[in-house]
Structure 1
Amino acid sequence: MTIKCTNKVALIGTGFVGSSYAFALLNQGIAHELVMIDLNKEKADGDARDLKHGLAFASPMKIYAGDYSDCKDSDIVVITAGANQQPGETRLDLVEKNIKIFKNIVGSVMDSGFNGIFLVATNPVDILTYATWKFSGLPKERVIGSGTILDTARLRYLVGEHFDIDTRNIHAYIMGEHGDTEFPVWSHTTIGASQLNELIEMEQENVQKDLNDIFINVRDAAYHIIERKGATYYGIAMGLARITKAIFNNENSILTVSALLEGENQEQDIYIGVPAIINRGGVRKVVELPLNEKEKTQFTHSAETLKNVMKNSLEA
């Protein structure tokens, strides 16, 4: 893929997540050009105008509302469009509605001549990232889902809060489906340079309860936020901005994204949340963590859950 001087993002969907992502891009000076695309063209234009009025306080960026033809020379197309998760709904409940929407979106993007990287955030993100890969025909490394990047951030925050340590010094992963079957990889959790099991007695009943409570709060965080304010968007928008930054800066950073597995962790032909090395080409490599027996079982269960839903939804 040719490296250009201009880092251009095409954002499809200017709802809560999309507009928050655009705001994060502008605040952090991540992109040079941003085109905002939405069925509601007035909303996209309004967002673009509003963001441009903040340029005096940020880095230079070309921001405008456009259409699918503007995807042609984009480096990254970020998809946040689709039906939202309603109170009481799981992410997997959204499959049927969003597969239809995505077939049209991805087809329209590819018709423009796009040859960059897709970054998918719409739920259920693992299944929709797989669908984007299939619909686009692009190489697997150039189709990425936001995966468990936000769940991992939530875990790092809550572990840091529990031990009263800066979140940035917590290294931990949530793997699996971005949803109810995700799981924490406690065997690879570190605080500073120390493994978690060196700092606490992992097998003690009260410790197990504390760790389980932390994980439940991570897993159910979206439900709690949706009950209170109707949607989650700031956290995931910052996660998307982090992935975008890793791509544009050719960072080779390890982030927990939804990536295609081809034998890693004994799984095939599935997009699922795993640590992966991200650079200008997209996913350089999936990092295959050695999991303990409990974690292996959890990963297999999560993958099977996704496969069962995918089988029914993508055959249509």
Structure 2
Amino acid sequence: MDIKTNKISIVGAGFVGSTTAFALMLEGLASDIVIVDVNKDKAEAEAMDLSHGAAFVKAVEIKAGDYSDTANSDIVIITAGVGPKPGETRLDIINKNLNIFKQIVPEIVKYSPNSLLLVVSNPVDVLTYITYKLSGFPANRVIGSGTVLDTSRFRYILSDYFKVDARNVHTYIIGEHGDSEIAAWSLTNIAGMNADEYCDNVSKNCDKSFKNDIPEQVKNAAYEIINKKGYTNYAVALAVRRIVEAILRDENSILTVSSLFTGQFGIDDVYLAIPSIVGSGGVEGIIPVPLSEEEKNKLKESADILKKVISESDLSI
């Protein structure tokens, strides 16, 4: 009897890559995890450290290796690259990471031509588009982590403000994973009420400025963490684990991954975060969510910003 195994490779053994491996190991989602990094000693140390917890988790083989060791991966997660330093935006680091991706992606495709690629490195929307172009894969098999993390931050801050469980706050951050991201208030609800209704009917004394203040907190959250500790890793690793779970379990979950727009909302040929159905085939479809006119305009503006960055970058694809 054939036993289904799941092989996941992670390219990049930095803070995000290693924490992602840890999150995947704890959840028991993979039978094999391969970690690849230009710093082979770092990759080997991370694999060894994780492997020493074997007695406490479901059976999994974790090893460091070269691209040849990633062969026949079901999912390849790309976390490699340089992150923004204090004072830099995600878009500031595009050309640095572009050159790295030109080396990484062809190697991944060579050894795992049937895999699904999940891009986490920043600027994630631009690098997901670049990965799509470099790989030659169909768009549904090239996904960016998008605003899955931003959406979780939004839900957490709203839950803290309204004093309810974050799991009972339903909302999304859409657009760029970055400074032009959009809080989709038109899609926000708590107990079937929109944020204003919940404010008026339940909280009663909430400050109406929350609709301006909270999105700013969400947008600046990563910068605040980076300024204080130099990087982010825990929550983004959990966001990646959630996406991987939806893929491997064929959940058809709705997640704000970065997906290729092909005319939706009047936007074409750019990756942006939008509620999308995620299953075993990757992105099974973008949901035509009922956005307000203001949100639609902001989404187009976000797309234009990313397209401009791509056009000014040394793609050479």
The answer to whether the 8 A contact 2:262-2:269 is kept is: yes
Aligned-partner residue type, residue 188 of structure 1: L
Q: Which 5+ residue runs of structure 2 have no aligned equivalent?
A: none
Aligned-partner residue type, residue 305 of structure 2: T
Where in structure 1 do 4 or more consecutive aligned residues deviate above 6 Å? none
In 1, the alpha carbon distance for the partners of 2:131 and 2:198 equals 42
Residue aligning to 2:140 = 141
In 2, the alpha carbon distance for the partners of 1:168 and 1:237 equals 18
Give 1:200 shift: 3.1
Aligned-partner residue type, residue 225 of structure 2: I
1:12 counterpart = 2:11: yes
Q: Deviations over 1:167-195 (max 9, x none)?
A: 01111100010000001000110113333
Residue aligning to 1:37 = 36
Matches within 5 A, 1:23-172: 23-172=22-171
1:220 partner SS: helix
In 2, the alpha carbon distance for the partners of 1:270 and 1:199 equals 35
Residues 153 and 113 (structure 1), Cα distance of their counterparts in 2 relative to 1, 3 Å cut: closer
Residue aligning to 1:262 = 262
TM-score normalised by the chain length of structure 1: 0.95
The answer to whether the 8 A contact 2:81-2:121 is kept is: yes
Give 1:196 shift: 2.4
The answer to whether the 8 A contact 1:173-1:256 is kept is: yes
Aligned-partner residue type, residue 23 of structure 1: F
Aligned-partner residue type, residue 213 of structure 1: D
Q: Deviations over 1:103-138 (max 9, x none)?
A: 110011112243110000000000000000000000
Q: Deviations over 1:56-80 (max 9, x none)?
A: 1111111111111122210000000
Residues 58 and 287 (structure 1), Cα distance of their counterparts in 2 relative to 1, 3 Å cut: same
Residues 64 and 315 (structure 1), Cα distance of their counterparts in 2 relative to 1, 3 Å cut: closer
The answer to whether the 8 A contact 1:159-1:214 is kept is: yes
In 2, the alpha carbon distance for the partners of 1:15 and 1:168 equals 30
Aligned-partner residue type, residue 288 of structure 1: P
Q: Which 5+ residue runs of structure 1 have no aligned equivalent?
A: none
TM-score normalised by the chain length of structure 2: 0.95
In 2, the alpha carbon distance for the partners of 1:56 and 1:315 equals 46
In 1, the alpha carbon distance for the partners of 2:110 and 2:73 equals 13
Identity of aligned residues (%): 48
Aligned-partner residue type, residue 302 of structure 2: S
Q: Deviations over 1:134-184 (max 9, x none)?
A: 000000000000001110000000000011000011111000100000010
118-127 or 184-193, larger mean C-alpha shift: 184-193
Give the aligned CA root-mean-square deviation in angstroms: 1.7
